[in-house]
Homo-oligomer: A and B are copies of this chain.
Amino acid sequence: MPRSNAGTKGVPRADREAQILVAATRLFGTLGYAGTSVAAVAEPAGISKPLVYSYFGSKEGLYSACLRRAGEQLAVEMEVIARSGVVGLERGLRTLEGVFDLLEPQPWVWRLIFDPTAPAEGEVAEVMATYTARITALAEEGVGELAALVGISDPLDVSALVRVWMSIFDALVGWWVDHPDQSAEAMTARCVRLFTGVTGADLGTVLA
């Protein structure tokens, strides 16, 4: 019998890294960057703090790794939908639908990307800026098209409207996270009802 708990347990680095990322993503997404300690990540991952540092270097490094995985997933999902040819309000809806599906098993991931408690400088800020920029670009595309259609042409108006749209998106995801009994499908249907009610548009065929 070993005299200490140290020593390898036969788990390869890649596997451990994956385990740590899962635990960290969940905690960061739930408690926020500032509210999560590295020790609190190590515990559910079943390992000790120094191993986390050995693999990810720092708390920021750990967060960046989580961010890259989650951000890539979300950005790709949204980009695929944007390139699928759907336009107008329906494009917004389809994007919501895709995000709801993606987030269904791990809704806390959303907060990761827009966490206001994350550091405003350094590596984390840069990675966040990358994904925020990719997502914002898509929003600008969609909102810009829609704005032109209803006669909103002033660039500052469009800029504000982009912000509003992203905020609506965030609010709907946030509401959903607070109502875990609602399925992704039900959420999409809800969005259709709300959009229809507010804009008067016809989105009846979206739920095919």
Contacts and interface: CB of A to CB of B under 8 A. Distances in A.
Interface residues of A, number: 33
B156 A190 contact: yes
Contacts of A200: 150, 199-200
A158 to B, nearest CB: 10
Q: So how many copies of this chain end up in the complex?
A: 2
A113 to B, nearest CB: 14
Contacts of A34: 34, 117
A168 interface: yes
A197 interface: yes
A171 B163 contact: yes
A152 B196 CA distance: 10
A150 B190 contact: no
Contacts of A150: 197-198, 200
A168 B193 CA distance: 18
Contact of A116 (B116, B157, B179): B116
A172 B179 contact: no
A182 B163 CA distance: 16
Given A116-B116, A156-B179, A199-B199, 17 more contacts: A34-B34, A116-B117, A147-B197, A150-B198, A152-B194, A160-B190, A161-B198, A163-B171, A164-B171, A164-B172, A164-B175, A164-B194, A167-B168, A167-B171, A168-B168, A198-B199, A199-B200
5 contacts: A116-B116, A150-B198, A156-B179, A156-B190, A198-B199
